Structure 1
Amino acid sequence: MTIDSDALPGTLRWASRLLQAEAVALGLVAGWLVWADLTATTTDLTSALLVTAFAIGGAAALWALGSALARRRSGARAPAIVLELMLLPVGWYMVQGGLGWLGVPLIALGLGVCGLLLSTPTNRALGFDREPDQ
């Protein structure tokens, strides 16, 4: 039996999976936005296309960051954390707007993935635990 000492730690694996799951969810929202753009009777076309493009770009960025983290690319961690922290104000305003059933899980997701990305096993896997050269 061979033990793979290079296996991804669970924290990094779950962070990567959650980022990719968020990408799929945002991709579904983007698909709905495309459908809404095409079937709307009256719309501000420029604004509609910008929102749709933002959703598509966000989904692509989340997927790319999740994939890069799964390949132990340390440079993907900071942008992933920034995107996850963006869930906090979104979730907060959802709670304030009466959508607490959606806002609270978004806040928890953002904080949870940040925790996974900042955990000790993730730091080791991405090479952030090494002593600086002197």
Structure 2
Amino acid sequence: MTIDSDALPATLRWASRLLHGQAVALGLVAAWLVWADLTATAADLPTALLVTAFAVGGAVALWALGSALARRRAGARAPAIVLQLMLLPVGWFMIQGGLGWLGVPLIALGLGVCALLVSTPTNRALGFD
């Protein structure tokens, strides 16, 4: 029996999977925004298109960072952490706005992925040890 020393550690594999999952979720939001932009009767079109472009860009960035981390690209860790930390104020304002059922899991997700990205096995896999 051989042991594959090049296998991704579970922490890095799960961080990559969660980033891909977030990319898919944000991509679905972006698709809904495209549909809303096309079917809206009266709206501020430049602002609507900017919000849609921001969602598409976020989905692409999350997917690219998840893929880069799966390929052990150390430079992808810092931007991924920044995107995860952006979930904290979003979740907090959702809690303040009465959407705690959504805000609390967003905060937990952001902190959880950050913890995975700074864990010892991830540090070793990315060459930070």
Query: Normalised by the shorter chain, which TM-score bucket?
Result: over 0.9
Structure 1 residue 2 displacement after superposition: 2.3
What is the TM-score when the length of structure 2 is the normalising length? 0.99
Structure 1 residue 10 displacement after superposition: 0.2
Deviates more, 1:1-10 or 1:39-48: 1-10
Q: Which residue matches 1:56?
A: 56
Q: Which residue matches 1:110?
A: 110
> Which amino acid in the other structure matches residue 95 of structure 1?
I
Q: Does 1:77 align with 2:71?
A: no
> Which amino acid in the other structure matches residue 13 of structure 2?
R
1:1-134 to structure 2, matched below 5 A, reads 1-129=1-129
Work out the CA distance in 1 between the residues paired with 2:29 and 2:91: 16
3-state DSSP of counterpart to 2:12: helix
Question: What is the percentage of aligned positions where both structures have the same residue?
Answer: 87
Instruction: Describe the superposition over 1:39-77 as per-residue Cα deviations: whole angstroms up to 9, x where unpaired.
Output: 000000000000000000000000000000000000000
What is the TM-score when the length of structure 1 is the normalising length? 0.96
- Count of aligned pairs between the two proteins: 129
3-state DSSP of counterpart to 2:66: helix
Structure 1 residue 30 displacement after superposition: 0.1
Deviating above 3 A after TM superposition, structure 1's stretches of 4 or more consecutive aligned residues are none
Structure 1 residue 3 displacement after superposition: 1.4
User: Cα RMSD between the aligned structures?
Assistant: 0.4
3-state DSSP of counterpart to 1:123: helix
Work out the CA distance in 1 between the residues paired with 2:24 and 2:66: 11
Work out the CA distance in 1 between the residues paired with 2:4 and 2:30: 39
In structure 2, runs of 5+ residues without a counterpart are: none
In structure 1, runs of 5+ residues without a counterpart are: 130-134
> Which amino acid in the other structure matches residue 18 of structure 2?
L
Work out the CA distance in 1 between the residues paired with 2:98 and 2:69: 35
